[in-house]
Structure 1
Protein backbone atom coordinates (compact mmCIF):
# COMPACT_ATOMS: atom_id res chain seq x y z
CA UNK A 1 0.00 0.00 0.00
CA UNK A 2 2.84 2.35 0.85
CA UNK A 3 4.45 1.75 -2.52
CA UNK A 4 1.15 2.26 -4.34
CA UNK A 5 0.44 5.48 -2.40
CA UNK A 6 3.92 6.81 -3.15
CA UNK A 7 3.46 6.08 -6.82
CA UNK A 8 0.21 8.01 -6.85
CA UNK A 9 1.93 10.96 -5.24
CA UNK A 10 4.63 10.93 -7.90
CA UNK A 11 1.92 10.87 -10.55
CA UNK A 12 -0.19 13.62 -9.00
CA UNK A 13 2.63 15.97 -7.89
CA UNK A 14 3.51 17.36 -11.35
CA UNK A 15 -0.14 18.21 -12.03
CA UNK A 16 -0.50 19.85 -8.62
CA UNK A 17 2.61 21.91 -9.30
CA UNK A 18 1.27 22.94 -12.71
CA UNK A 19 -2.06 23.97 -11.18
CA UNK A 20 -0.23 26.05 -8.58
CA UNK A 21 1.81 27.78 -11.29
CA UNK A 22 -1.33 28.57 -13.28
CA UNK A 23 -2.92 30.00 -10.15
CA UNK A 24 0.06 32.28 -9.55
CA UNK A 25 0.46 33.31 -13.19
CA UNK A 26 -1.75 36.46 -13.15
CA UNK A 27 0.10 37.77 -10.08
CA UNK A 28 3.54 37.38 -11.67
CA UNK A 29 2.49 38.58 -15.14
CA UNK A 30 5.33 40.36 -16.90
CA UNK A 31 5.72 43.17 -19.41
CA UNK A 32 8.41 44.92 -21.36
CA UNK A 33 9.18 48.64 -21.18
CA UNK A 34 8.94 50.33 -24.57
CA UNK A 35 10.00 53.78 -23.36
CA UNK A 36 10.27 55.90 -20.22
CA UNK A 37 10.49 59.69 -20.46
CA UNK A 38 10.75 62.05 -17.49
CA UNK A 39 9.75 65.66 -18.13
CA UNK A 40 11.28 67.89 -15.45
CA UNK A 41 9.63 71.22 -14.63
CA UNK A 42 11.23 74.30 -13.09
CA UNK A 43 9.42 73.80 -9.76
CA UNK A 44 10.87 70.30 -9.35
CA UNK A 45 7.78 68.38 -10.42
CA UNK A 46 8.38 65.54 -12.85
CA UNK A 47 5.93 64.06 -15.33
CA UNK A 48 6.58 60.37 -15.87
CA UNK A 49 5.53 58.99 -19.26
CA UNK A 50 5.88 55.22 -19.45
CA UNK A 51 4.96 52.89 -22.31
CA UNK A 52 4.85 49.16 -21.63
CA UNK A 53 4.12 46.08 -23.76
CA UNK A 54 2.26 43.36 -21.80
CA UNK A 55 3.25 39.76 -22.46
CA UNK A 56 0.88 37.61 -24.47
CA UNK A 57 -2.23 36.42 -22.62
CA UNK A 58 -1.59 38.89 -19.80
CA UNK A 59 -4.70 40.64 -18.51
CA UNK A 60 -3.13 42.41 -15.52
CA UNK A 61 0.25 44.00 -14.81
CA UNK A 62 1.76 45.67 -11.77
CA UNK A 63 3.84 48.76 -12.49
CA UNK A 64 5.98 50.29 -9.70
CA UNK A 65 5.57 54.04 -9.21
CA UNK A 66 8.70 56.18 -9.17
CA UNK A 67 7.43 58.42 -6.39
CA UNK A 68 5.59 58.00 -3.12
CA UNK A 69 3.27 60.91 -3.95
CA UNK A 70 1.75 60.89 -7.43
CA UNK A 71 -0.91 63.06 -9.06
CA UNK A 72 -3.08 63.01 -12.19
CA UNK A 73 -2.50 59.37 -13.07
CA UNK A 74 -3.65 58.51 -16.60
CA UNK A 75 -3.56 55.00 -18.08
CA UNK A 76 -4.57 54.38 -21.70
CA UNK A 77 -4.19 51.72 -24.38
CA UNK A 78 -2.54 52.13 -27.78
CA UNK A 79 -5.63 53.92 -29.09
CA UNK A 80 -5.79 56.44 -26.25
CA UNK A 81 -8.73 54.69 -24.58
CA UNK A 82 -8.66 54.74 -20.75
CA UNK A 83 -7.87 51.50 -18.91
CA UNK A 84 -8.99 50.47 -15.44
CA UNK A 85 -6.31 50.60 -12.75
CA UNK A 86 -5.85 50.87 -9.01
CA UNK A 87 -3.04 52.26 -6.89
CA UNK A 88 -1.79 49.83 -4.26
CA UNK A 89 1.30 50.07 -2.05
CA UNK A 90 3.46 52.15 -4.36
CA UNK A 91 2.44 50.48 -7.59
CA UNK A 92 -0.27 50.59 -10.23
CA UNK A 93 -2.32 47.48 -10.85
CA UNK A 94 -3.44 47.86 -14.47
CA UNK A 95 -6.10 45.72 -16.13
CA UNK A 96 -4.76 45.56 -19.67
CA UNK A 97 -7.48 43.48 -21.31
CA UNK A 98 -6.50 42.92 -24.95
CA UNK A 99 -4.21 45.94 -25.13
CA UNK A 100 -0.92 45.51 -26.99
CA UNK A 101 0.52 48.75 -25.56
CA UNK A 102 -0.18 50.54 -22.29
CA UNK A 103 0.70 54.21 -21.73
CA UNK A 104 1.05 55.48 -18.16
CA UNK A 105 1.42 59.14 -17.21
CA UNK A 106 1.58 60.82 -13.80
CA UNK A 107 3.24 63.69 -11.92
CA UNK A 108 5.43 63.40 -8.82
CA UNK A 109 7.55 65.84 -6.75
CA UNK A 110 9.60 63.03 -5.17
CA UNK A 111 12.34 62.60 -7.78
CA UNK A 112 14.03 65.97 -7.32
CA UNK A 113 15.75 67.76 -4.46
CA UNK A 114 17.37 71.18 -4.20
CA UNK A 115 20.50 72.42 -2.42
CA UNK A 116 21.16 76.11 -2.91
CA UNK A 117 20.72 76.82 -6.61
CA UNK A 118 21.42 73.23 -7.68
CA UNK A 119 18.61 70.79 -8.39
CA UNK A 120 19.27 67.05 -8.50
CA UNK A 121 17.10 64.41 -10.14
CA UNK A 122 17.54 60.91 -8.71
CA UNK A 123 16.11 57.90 -10.55
CA UNK A 124 16.56 54.16 -10.10
CA UNK A 125 15.59 52.26 -13.24
CA UNK A 126 16.17 48.82 -14.71
CA UNK A 127 15.87 50.20 -18.25
CA UNK A 128 17.34 53.21 -20.08
CA UNK A 129 15.27 56.37 -19.66
CA UNK A 130 15.15 59.84 -21.17
CA UNK A 131 15.09 63.03 -19.12
CA UNK A 132 13.76 66.23 -20.68
CA UNK A 133 15.04 69.17 -18.65
CA UNK A 134 13.58 72.69 -18.73
CA UNK A 135 14.82 74.82 -21.61
CA UNK A 136 16.69 77.13 -19.23
CA UNK A 137 18.43 74.31 -17.33
CA UNK A 138 22.21 73.98 -17.23
CA UNK A 139 23.62 70.53 -16.35
CA UNK A 140 26.41 70.65 -13.75
CA UNK A 141 26.89 66.94 -12.96
CA UNK A 142 25.96 63.47 -14.24
CA UNK A 143 26.28 60.18 -12.38
CA UNK A 144 27.12 58.23 -15.55
CA UNK A 145 27.95 58.66 -19.22
CA UNK A 146 24.69 59.36 -21.09
CA UNK A 147 23.65 57.15 -23.96
CA UNK A 148 22.51 60.19 -25.91
CA UNK A 149 22.22 63.96 -25.55
CA UNK A 150 19.97 66.01 -27.82
CA UNK A 151 19.42 69.60 -26.72
CA UNK A 152 17.77 69.53 -23.31
CA UNK A 153 17.03 65.79 -23.64
CA UNK A 154 19.38 63.28 -21.97
CA UNK A 155 19.09 59.49 -22.23
CA UNK A 156 20.66 57.71 -19.27
CA UNK A 157 21.60 54.02 -18.94
CA UNK A 158 19.91 51.70 -16.41
CA UNK A 159 20.88 51.88 -12.75
CA UNK A 160 20.83 54.42 -9.93
CA UNK A 161 21.30 57.64 -11.87
CA UNK A 162 21.35 61.31 -10.98
CA UNK A 163 21.44 64.55 -12.96
CA UNK A 164 22.32 67.82 -11.26
CA UNK A 165 21.38 71.09 -12.91
CA UNK A 166 20.69 74.75 -12.29
CA UNK A 167 17.88 76.93 -13.60
CA UNK A 168 19.05 80.17 -15.18
CA UNK A 169 16.76 83.01 -14.11
CA UNK A 170 16.44 86.13 -12.01
CA UNK A 171 16.56 85.55 -8.26
CA UNK A 172 18.32 86.31 -5.01
CA UNK A 173 20.39 83.94 -2.93
CA UNK A 174 21.22 84.10 0.78
CA UNK A 175 24.81 84.60 1.85
CA UNK A 176 26.66 81.29 1.63
CA UNK A 177 28.01 79.82 4.91
CA UNK A 178 31.54 81.08 5.58
CA UNK A 179 31.23 83.97 3.13
CA UNK A 180 32.26 87.30 4.66
CA UNK A 181 30.09 90.35 4.23
CA UNK A 182 32.85 92.22 2.45
CA UNK A 183 33.59 89.49 -0.11
CA UNK A 184 32.09 89.61 -3.59
CA UNK A 185 28.83 87.68 -3.91
CA UNK A 186 29.02 85.60 -7.07
CA UNK A 187 25.28 85.02 -7.05
CA UNK A 188 24.64 88.76 -6.91
CA UNK A 189 26.89 89.30 -9.93
CA UNK A 190 25.05 86.56 -11.77
CA UNK A 191 21.73 88.17 -10.91
CA UNK A 192 22.87 91.52 -12.32
CA UNK A 193 23.97 89.92 -15.57
CA UNK A 194 20.78 87.91 -15.83
CA UNK A 195 18.71 91.01 -15.13
CA UNK A 196 20.38 92.84 -17.99
CA UNK A 197 19.81 89.93 -20.32
CA UNK A 198 16.28 89.47 -19.04
CA UNK A 199 15.27 93.02 -19.96
CA UNK A 200 16.37 92.41 -23.53
CA UNK A 201 14.56 89.07 -23.53
CA UNK A 202 11.33 90.59 -22.24
CA UNK A 203 11.35 93.19 -25.00
CA UNK A 204 11.78 90.46 -27.58
CA UNK A 205 9.09 88.32 -25.94
CA UNK A 206 6.51 91.10 -26.17
CA UNK A 207 7.22 91.38 -29.88
CA UNK A 208 6.58 87.64 -30.28
CA UNK A 209 3.53 87.46 -28.04
CA UNK A 210 1.10 86.85 -30.88
CA UNK A 211 2.94 83.72 -32.07
CA UNK A 212 1.82 81.58 -29.12
CA UNK A 213 5.41 80.80 -28.00
CA UNK A 214 6.91 82.14 -24.78
CA UNK A 215 10.45 81.83 -26.16
CA UNK A 216 12.21 81.86 -29.49
CA UNK A 217 10.55 79.49 -31.90
CA UNK A 218 12.79 76.52 -32.78
CA UNK A 219 13.28 75.36 -36.33
CA UNK A 220 10.89 72.75 -37.68
CA UNK A 221 13.67 70.16 -37.57
CA UNK A 222 14.36 70.94 -33.91
CA UNK A 223 10.65 70.74 -33.13
CA UNK A 224 10.34 67.36 -34.88
CA UNK A 225 13.31 66.19 -32.81
CA UNK A 226 11.47 67.13 -29.62
CA UNK A 227 8.37 65.25 -30.74
CA UNK A 228 10.47 62.15 -31.39
CA UNK A 229 11.41 62.07 -27.68
CA UNK A 230 7.79 62.18 -26.54
CA UNK A 231 5.36 59.30 -26.24
CA UNK A 232 2.86 60.41 -28.87
CA UNK A 233 0.78 58.64 -31.49
CA UNK A 234 0.81 59.69 -35.15
CA UNK A 235 -2.33 61.85 -34.90
CA UNK A 236 -0.92 63.75 -31.91
CA UNK A 237 2.37 64.40 -33.71
CA UNK A 238 0.55 65.59 -36.83
CA UNK A 239 -1.62 67.92 -34.75
CA UNK A 240 1.38 69.44 -32.96
CA UNK A 241 3.29 69.85 -36.21
CA UNK A 242 0.26 71.55 -37.76
CA UNK A 243 0.10 73.96 -34.81
CA UNK A 244 3.82 74.64 -35.19
CA UNK A 245 3.42 75.42 -38.89
CA UNK A 246 0.55 77.79 -38.03
CA UNK A 247 2.72 79.80 -35.64
CA UNK A 248 1.79 77.84 -32.50
CA UNK A 249 -1.95 78.49 -32.43
CA UNK A 250 -5.04 77.40 -34.38
CA UNK A 251 -8.70 76.56 -33.81
CA UNK A 252 -9.63 73.02 -32.84
CA UNK A 253 -11.84 72.70 -35.90
CA UNK A 254 -9.01 73.77 -38.19
CA UNK A 255 -6.58 71.23 -36.72
CA UNK A 256 -9.23 68.50 -36.74
CA UNK A 257 -10.05 69.03 -40.39
CA UNK A 258 -6.39 69.28 -41.37
CA UNK A 259 -5.50 65.88 -39.96
CA UNK A 260 -8.86 64.25 -40.76
CA UNK A 261 -10.17 63.25 -37.32
CA UNK A 262 -13.79 62.92 -36.15
CA UNK A 263 -14.90 65.59 -33.72
CA UNK A 264 -15.09 63.30 -30.65
CA UNK A 265 -11.75 61.64 -31.36
CA UNK A 266 -10.09 65.03 -31.84
CA UNK A 267 -11.63 66.34 -28.60
CA UNK A 268 -10.13 63.42 -26.64
CA UNK A 269 -6.77 63.96 -28.33
CA UNK A 270 -6.66 67.67 -27.41
CA UNK A 271 -7.54 66.79 -23.81
CA UNK A 272 -4.69 64.25 -23.67
CA UNK A 273 -2.23 66.78 -25.05
CA UNK A 274 -3.38 69.38 -22.54
CA UNK A 275 -2.98 66.95 -19.63
CA UNK A 276 0.56 66.25 -20.82
CA UNK A 277 1.33 69.98 -20.76
CA UNK A 278 1.96 70.17 -24.51
CA UNK A 279 -0.95 72.45 -25.44
CA UNK A 280 -3.40 74.82 -23.82
CA UNK A 281 -7.06 74.87 -24.83
CA UNK A 282 -8.41 78.41 -25.10
CA UNK A 283 -12.18 78.76 -25.00
CA UNK A 284 -13.65 81.22 -27.50
CA UNK A 285 -17.14 82.54 -28.05
CA UNK A 286 -17.80 80.40 -31.13
CA UNK A 287 -15.05 77.78 -31.04
CA UNK A 288 -12.09 76.63 -28.96
CA UNK A 289 -8.49 77.31 -29.90
CA UNK A 290 -5.35 75.27 -29.20
CA UNK A 291 -1.97 76.79 -28.36
CA UNK A 292 1.42 75.08 -28.12
CA UNK A 293 2.93 75.21 -24.64
CA UNK A 294 6.44 73.75 -25.13
Structure 2
Protein backbone atom coordinates (compact mmCIF):
# COMPACT_ATOMS: atom_id res chain seq x y z
CA UNK A 1 0.00 0.00 0.00
CA UNK A 2 1.36 3.42 -1.00
CA UNK A 3 0.11 6.69 0.50
CA UNK A 4 0.19 9.48 -2.10
CA UNK A 5 0.24 13.19 -1.17
CA UNK A 6 -0.02 15.85 -3.87
CA UNK A 7 0.19 19.63 -3.43
CA UNK A 8 -1.08 21.78 -6.29
CA UNK A 9 -1.19 25.52 -6.94
CA UNK A 10 -4.27 26.52 -8.94
CA UNK A 11 -5.82 29.71 -10.31
CA UNK A 12 -8.44 30.73 -7.75
CA UNK A 13 -10.57 32.36 -10.44
CA UNK A 14 -11.14 29.01 -12.17
CA UNK A 15 -14.20 27.07 -11.00
CA UNK A 16 -12.53 23.66 -11.32
CA UNK A 17 -9.50 21.76 -12.55
CA UNK A 18 -8.81 18.14 -13.46
CA UNK A 19 -5.88 15.78 -13.01
CA UNK A 20 -5.21 12.12 -13.59
CA UNK A 21 -4.77 9.97 -10.50
CA UNK A 22 -1.48 8.06 -10.50
CA UNK A 23 -1.87 4.45 -9.43
CA UNK A 24 -5.65 4.29 -9.84
CA UNK A 25 -7.83 3.00 -8.27
CA UNK A 26 -7.47 5.36 -5.30
CA UNK A 27 -8.95 4.61 -1.89
CA UNK A 28 -9.38 6.88 1.14
CA UNK A 29 -9.35 9.85 -1.23
CA UNK A 30 -9.28 13.23 0.50
CA UNK A 31 -9.14 16.67 -1.15
CA UNK A 32 -8.68 19.83 0.96
CA UNK A 33 -7.54 23.43 0.69
CA UNK A 34 -4.64 24.96 2.63
CA UNK A 35 -6.82 25.38 5.76
CA UNK A 36 -7.92 21.73 5.76
CA UNK A 37 -11.45 22.42 4.49
CA UNK A 38 -12.80 19.55 2.39
CA UNK A 39 -13.34 20.37 -1.29
CA UNK A 40 -15.98 18.88 -3.55
CA UNK A 41 -14.74 16.62 -6.33
CA UNK A 42 -15.83 14.05 -8.90
CA UNK A 43 -13.81 10.92 -9.62
CA UNK A 44 -14.42 8.94 -12.79
CA UNK A 45 -11.98 6.10 -13.40
CA UNK A 46 -8.61 7.83 -12.94
CA UNK A 47 -9.84 11.35 -13.74
CA UNK A 48 -10.27 13.62 -10.72
CA UNK A 49 -12.17 16.91 -11.07
CA UNK A 50 -11.87 19.29 -8.11
CA UNK A 51 -14.08 22.35 -7.67
CA UNK A 52 -11.72 25.12 -6.61
CA UNK A 53 -13.33 28.54 -7.10
CA UNK A 54 -11.63 30.89 -4.63
CA UNK A 55 -8.93 28.35 -3.74
CA UNK A 56 -5.24 28.77 -4.60
CA UNK A 57 -3.74 25.63 -2.98
CA UNK A 58 -5.12 22.09 -3.20
CA UNK A 59 -3.98 19.01 -1.30
CA UNK A 60 -4.88 15.55 -2.61
CA UNK A 61 -4.23 12.43 -0.52
CA UNK A 62 -5.11 8.80 -1.19
CA UNK A 63 -3.90 5.23 -0.87
CA UNK A 64 -3.24 2.81 -3.72
CA UNK A 65 -1.87 -0.70 -4.15
CA UNK A 66 -0.95 -0.25 -7.81
CA UNK A 67 2.40 1.52 -7.48
CA UNK A 68 4.35 -1.31 -5.85
CA UNK A 69 4.92 -4.97 -6.59
CA UNK A 70 7.11 -7.69 -5.13
CA UNK A 71 9.32 -10.32 -6.76
CA UNK A 72 10.97 -12.64 -4.28
CA UNK A 73 12.30 -10.43 -1.51
CA UNK A 74 12.59 -7.32 -3.71
CA UNK A 75 9.92 -4.62 -3.63
CA UNK A 76 9.68 -2.19 -6.53
CA UNK A 77 8.01 1.21 -6.71
CA UNK A 78 7.26 2.30 -10.29
CA UNK A 79 5.66 5.50 -11.52
CA UNK A 80 5.58 7.73 -14.60
CA UNK A 81 5.44 11.27 -13.19
CA UNK A 82 5.17 14.51 -15.17
CA UNK A 83 7.04 16.37 -12.40
CA UNK A 84 9.80 15.55 -9.96
CA UNK A 85 8.61 13.83 -6.82
CA UNK A 86 9.67 12.45 -3.44
CA UNK A 87 9.56 8.84 -2.27
CA UNK A 88 9.71 7.92 1.43
CA UNK A 89 10.80 4.30 1.80
CA UNK A 90 9.60 1.94 4.56
CA UNK A 91 11.59 1.67 7.78
CA UNK A 92 14.79 -0.38 7.52
CA UNK A 93 14.50 -0.55 3.71
CA UNK A 94 17.71 -0.87 1.67
CA UNK A 95 17.76 0.45 -1.90
CA UNK A 96 19.09 -2.13 -4.39
CA UNK A 97 18.32 -0.47 -7.74
CA UNK A 98 17.38 2.94 -9.15
CA UNK A 99 16.30 3.82 -12.67
CA UNK A 100 17.94 7.26 -12.33
CA UNK A 101 20.17 8.94 -9.79
CA UNK A 102 18.06 10.78 -7.21
CA UNK A 103 18.25 14.56 -7.10
CA UNK A 104 18.59 14.42 -3.30
CA UNK A 105 18.78 11.76 -0.60
CA UNK A 106 17.58 12.65 2.90
CA UNK A 107 17.38 10.68 6.16
CA UNK A 108 14.27 11.76 8.05
CA UNK A 109 14.07 12.17 11.83
CA UNK A 110 12.46 8.71 12.13
CA UNK A 111 15.41 7.22 10.16
CA UNK A 112 13.40 6.56 7.00
CA UNK A 113 15.05 7.43 3.67
CA UNK A 114 13.49 10.03 1.37
CA UNK A 115 14.53 10.19 -2.28
CA UNK A 116 13.75 13.11 -4.56
CA UNK A 117 13.47 11.73 -8.09
CA UNK A 118 13.36 13.52 -11.46
CA UNK A 119 10.26 13.52 -13.63
CA UNK A 120 9.59 10.70 -16.07
CA UNK A 121 9.33 6.95 -15.77
CA UNK A 122 11.09 5.96 -12.55
CA UNK A 123 11.65 2.74 -10.64
CA UNK A 124 12.97 2.30 -7.09
CA UNK A 125 13.73 -1.23 -5.90
CA UNK A 126 14.40 -2.05 -2.26
CA UNK A 127 14.44 -4.89 0.26
CA UNK A 128 13.16 -5.08 3.83
CA UNK A 129 15.03 -7.34 6.30
CA UNK A 130 13.27 -10.68 6.99
CA UNK A 131 11.05 -10.57 10.03
CA UNK A 132 10.56 -6.80 10.04
CA UNK A 133 7.23 -6.99 8.20
CA UNK A 134 5.85 -9.69 10.53
CA UNK A 135 7.03 -7.84 13.61
CA UNK A 136 5.51 -4.62 12.30
CA UNK A 137 2.14 -6.37 11.93
CA UNK A 138 2.41 -7.81 15.44
CA UNK A 139 3.17 -4.35 16.82
CA UNK A 140 0.19 -2.85 14.99
CA UNK A 141 -2.07 -5.61 16.30
CA UNK A 142 -0.86 -5.08 19.87
CA UNK A 143 -1.36 -1.31 19.60
CA UNK A 144 -4.91 -1.78 18.31
CA UNK A 145 -5.66 -4.25 21.11
CA UNK A 146 -4.35 -1.82 23.75
CA UNK A 147 -6.39 1.03 22.27
CA UNK A 148 -9.53 -1.14 22.43
CA UNK A 149 -8.82 -2.05 26.07
CA UNK A 150 -8.36 1.62 27.01
CA UNK A 151 -11.62 2.62 25.30
CA UNK A 152 -13.41 -0.22 27.06
CA UNK A 153 -12.02 0.86 30.43
CA UNK A 154 -13.16 4.45 29.84
CA UNK A 155 -16.62 3.27 28.80
CA UNK A 156 -16.88 1.27 32.02
CA UNK A 157 -15.60 4.13 34.17
CA UNK A 158 -12.40 2.29 35.12
CA UNK A 159 -10.12 5.31 35.05
CA UNK A 160 -7.96 4.67 38.12
CA UNK A 161 -4.58 3.58 36.76
CA UNK A 162 -5.60 4.30 33.17
CA UNK A 163 -3.05 7.11 32.89
CA UNK A 164 -0.28 4.50 32.88
CA UNK A 165 -2.01 2.60 30.08
CA UNK A 166 -2.37 5.74 27.95
CA UNK A 167 1.26 6.73 28.59
CA UNK A 168 2.48 3.27 27.56
CA UNK A 169 0.30 3.36 24.45
CA UNK A 170 1.79 6.74 23.48
CA UNK A 171 5.29 5.32 23.94
CA UNK A 172 4.29 2.30 21.84
CA UNK A 173 3.12 4.57 19.02
CA UNK A 174 6.32 6.63 19.24
CA UNK A 175 8.43 3.46 19.05
CA UNK A 176 6.41 2.28 16.06
CA UNK A 177 6.96 5.59 14.27
CA UNK A 178 10.71 5.21 14.87
CA UNK A 179 10.59 1.73 13.35
CA UNK A 180 11.38 -0.03 16.64
CA UNK A 181 8.59 -2.61 16.25
CA UNK A 182 9.83 -4.91 19.00
CA UNK A 183 9.72 -2.15 21.61
CA UNK A 184 6.38 -0.92 20.21
CA UNK A 185 4.89 -4.39 20.62
CA UNK A 186 6.22 -4.72 24.19
CA UNK A 187 4.94 -1.27 25.20
CA UNK A 188 1.54 -1.98 23.66
CA UNK A 189 1.24 -5.27 25.57
CA UNK A 190 2.08 -3.46 28.81
CA UNK A 191 -0.51 -0.81 27.94
CA UNK A 192 -3.11 -3.53 27.43
CA UNK A 193 -2.30 -5.10 30.82
CA UNK A 194 -2.51 -1.71 32.53
CA UNK A 195 -5.88 -0.99 30.92
CA UNK A 196 -7.22 -4.38 31.99
CA UNK A 197 -6.12 -3.70 35.59
CA UNK A 198 -7.63 -0.19 35.71
CA UNK A 199 -10.21 0.22 38.47
CA UNK A 200 -13.37 2.20 38.95
CA UNK A 201 -12.62 4.78 41.67
CA UNK A 202 -16.26 5.74 42.09
CA UNK A 203 -16.96 2.37 43.74
CA UNK A 204 -14.98 3.22 46.88
CA UNK A 205 -16.21 6.79 46.86
CA UNK A 206 -19.81 5.63 46.65
CA UNK A 207 -19.29 3.18 49.55
CA UNK A 208 -17.63 5.84 51.73
CA UNK A 209 -20.37 8.41 51.26
CA UNK A 210 -23.34 6.11 50.75
CA UNK A 211 -24.92 7.13 54.05
CA UNK A 212 -24.80 10.78 52.97
CA UNK A 213 -26.86 10.22 49.82
CA UNK A 214 -30.54 10.84 50.49
CA UNK A 215 -33.71 11.94 48.77
CA UNK A 216 -33.07 13.70 45.48
CA UNK A 217 -29.45 12.57 45.53
CA UNK A 218 -30.50 8.92 45.39
CA UNK A 219 -32.95 9.65 42.60
CA UNK A 220 -30.25 11.48 40.68
CA UNK A 221 -27.82 8.55 40.95
CA UNK A 222 -30.53 6.10 39.92
CA UNK A 223 -31.57 8.25 36.99
CA UNK A 224 -27.96 8.61 35.83
CA UNK A 225 -27.48 4.84 36.06
CA UNK A 226 -30.64 4.24 34.03
CA UNK A 227 -29.53 6.70 31.35
CA UNK A 228 -26.08 5.11 31.17
CA UNK A 229 -27.63 1.63 30.92
CA UNK A 230 -29.95 2.76 28.12
CA UNK A 231 -27.07 4.35 26.21
CA UNK A 232 -24.93 1.23 26.66
CA UNK A 233 -27.73 -0.98 25.38
CA UNK A 234 -28.08 1.37 22.43
CA UNK A 235 -24.46 1.03 21.35
CA UNK A 236 -24.53 -2.74 21.91
CA UNK A 237 -27.67 -2.96 19.80
CA UNK A 238 -25.91 -1.07 16.97
CA UNK A 239 -23.04 -3.57 17.05
CA UNK A 240 -25.42 -6.54 16.96
CA UNK A 241 -27.34 -5.13 14.01
CA UNK A 242 -24.16 -4.26 12.09
CA UNK A 243 -21.76 -7.18 12.67
CA UNK A 244 -19.68 -6.21 9.63
CA UNK A 245 -18.31 -3.06 11.32
CA UNK A 246 -14.53 -3.20 11.73
CA UNK A 247 -12.69 -2.24 14.93
CA UNK A 248 -11.94 1.35 13.87
CA UNK A 249 -15.60 1.93 12.98
CA UNK A 250 -16.72 0.46 16.32
CA UNK A 251 -14.19 2.66 18.14
CA UNK A 252 -15.57 5.81 16.49
CA UNK A 253 -19.07 4.85 17.63
CA UNK A 254 -17.77 4.13 21.13
CA UNK A 255 -16.14 7.57 21.31
CA UNK A 256 -19.45 9.16 20.32
CA UNK A 257 -21.17 7.08 23.01
CA UNK A 258 -18.60 8.10 25.63
CA UNK A 259 -19.04 11.78 24.71
CA UNK A 260 -22.80 11.63 25.13
CA UNK A 261 -23.77 10.82 21.57
CA UNK A 262 -21.99 13.55 19.62
CA UNK A 263 -18.53 15.04 19.08
CA UNK A 264 -16.51 17.10 16.64
CA UNK A 265 -14.62 15.02 14.08
CA UNK A 266 -11.36 16.59 15.29
CA UNK A 267 -12.08 15.37 18.85
CA UNK A 268 -12.63 11.84 17.52
CA UNK A 269 -9.24 11.99 15.75
CA UNK A 270 -7.52 13.12 18.95
CA UNK A 271 -9.22 10.42 21.04
CA UNK A 272 -8.32 7.57 18.68
CA UNK A 273 -5.02 9.04 17.42
CA UNK A 274 -5.95 8.19 13.84
CA UNK A 275 -5.05 10.10 10.66
CA UNK A 276 -7.45 12.75 9.42
CA UNK A 277 -8.14 10.84 6.20
CA UNK A 278 -8.95 7.64 8.08
CA UNK A 279 -11.45 9.25 10.46
CA UNK A 280 -13.09 11.19 7.63
CA UNK A 281 -13.51 7.97 5.61
CA UNK A 282 -14.95 6.10 8.61
CA UNK A 283 -17.41 8.87 9.45
CA UNK A 284 -18.61 9.11 5.85
CA UNK A 285 -19.13 5.32 5.76
CA UNK A 286 -21.06 5.37 9.04
CA UNK A 287 -23.18 8.19 7.63
CA UNK A 288 -23.96 6.13 4.52
CA UNK A 289 -24.98 3.25 6.83
CA UNK A 290 -27.42 5.56 8.60
CA UNK A 291 -25.59 5.27 11.93
CA UNK A 292 -24.44 8.89 12.27
CA UNK A 293 -25.33 12.28 10.90
CA UNK A 294 -22.90 15.09 10.13
CA UNK A 295 -23.57 18.79 10.41
CA UNK A 296 -21.38 21.83 10.00
CA UNK A 297 -20.83 23.84 13.19
CA UNK A 298 -18.64 26.92 12.73
CA UNK A 299 -17.04 25.28 9.72
CA UNK A 300 -16.24 22.04 11.56
CA UNK A 301 -17.80 18.59 11.17
CA UNK A 302 -20.03 17.73 14.15
CA UNK A 303 -20.86 14.01 14.23
CA UNK A 304 -23.93 12.75 16.04
CA UNK A 305 -25.25 9.22 16.66
CA UNK A 306 -28.59 8.82 14.96
CA UNK A 307 -31.56 7.94 17.15
Tell me which interval the TM-score lies in, with the shorter structure as reference length.
0.3 to 0.5
* Larger of the two Rg values belongs to structure: 1
Give the structure-2-normalised TM-score. Answer: 0.45
Say which structure is richer in helix.
2
Give the structure-1-normalised TM-score. Answer: 0.47
